[in-house]
Structure 1
Amino acid sequence: MPSAISLVTLLTDFGETDYFVPSMKGVLLGINPQIRIVDLSHRVPPHGIEQAAFFLKSCYEYYPDGTVHVVVVDPDVGSGRRALLVSTTRYFFLAPDNGVLSYIFKNEASVEVRAIENKQYRLDSAGATFDGRDLFAPSAAWLTKGQSPGSYGRLISDYVTLPDDHPKMNNQVLQGRIMYIDHFGNVITNITATEMETFRSVTKKEWTGLTVGEMTMKGVKGFYGEGATGLPELIINSNGHLEIFIKQGRAADRCGFQVGQKVELI
């Protein structure tokens, strides 16, 4: 694993109107004034573990080796849920043990997972409602100061992961789901271009459309501007996922699509 560098990213559901994020940054800088802090986002839907996991998956690997990624989407803060320090060949991740790091466990070739147990890395606090400030921020800051991952706690293997979200074939239909809705209202499914090719090879036919509820969309556009104004269309986005969009509109709002909703490639 690399040595941690003084670059910390933050991904939370805290929003931008409260003291939560500034408090975390103050703790980080108070321990290591040389830290560079990058805000990935603080607009994850409240308690949106799955959305945060997808968000992190989509951007973490573009950061320099040694980056410390901190994710705080933590509905069970203050409970018995564990806090994790995950080390890979390139990065470090600190997050609650609730599945938010599922794609890291899946995609990284080498993963070392520790429970953060050493109270040295926790701030004294009157309550147990703000582990972002009291645990994850100081833990990340001390990592950038050269503390060894081994000093944080024991290795574990029973960490929490989200349920398998791979699309599945069922009677010549590829069944998937909506996994994310972005700022533009584009609807991102868990069906990838690779899985669409697998559909062709398994069924020995070309797919004819994507069905969501009572609506079926046909054909894949090459870019957003090819879409017909006001109509939901399909596109393969730059991360390789099949996406529903409306040209200069919001597909999620117009069509009432929601995260978790089933989709079918037919």
Structure 2
Amino acid sequence: MTASFDRRTATDALALLRTGELTMVGRLTDASNITLYCTVATDTAEAACVYKPVAGERPLWDFPDGTLAGREIAAHAISEALGWAIVPPTVYRDGPYGEGMVQLWVNGDEAVDLVALSRDRGHAGLRRMAVFDAVINNSDRKIGHLLPVPDGHLYGCDHGVSFAEDYKLRTVLWQWQGEPLPAEVPAALAAMRDRLLDPGDPLSVELAAHLTEAERYALRSRVQILCEHGVHPYPSPDWPSVPWPPI
């Protein structure tokens, strides 16, 4: 699946994020960790972006290893490996407040009712996102993390609390639980599973830079279970199934 960002390709967007100069515009105050709205610019291009420095992360008892920024990078890598372009272009780089995650800013379509969208059973992109969240073990898929754009594509943001070893899937997208996966999904999962099993594959190498060995093992196990059973997962009886607040 291809995606464009203000008439630039994802490859061009990644290059801009990696090499452009970051200038802070303001802080997103509703975020629990320091999240900065910035511009990133070269001599020939400019875009808005989000910068989350590692120095601004609050320690979390259930994510003792690695960084939230690194998990955002891992989520982008999985999104690209599946070919679904769920996560906007995202890079790990240095910035005004040290190393962190920099992600292209996506302007959501304000005409879309996000609550209604989150309950839609027929939206193919939303259903792929539900599978994606099961793969990365997303523990915080809120309605406000849905980013539909005018061309119909659906992006998602805020994947820092993902990839836990234990099953912690917490999401507003449970409407397909127990149902067979869409026809095109098993092949995408199987192809990615094979890449995850090869330690020399670029995907495995990138994930190894940001996730522990145990977390990568759990990731491979989740993908294998999805391949074997071919159904959307159920909520855990031992973990709240919906984030609070859900918005």
Q: How does the TM-score come out when normalised to structure 2? A: 0.25
Going by fraction, where is helix more abundant, 1 or 2? 2
TM-score scaled by structure 1? 0.23
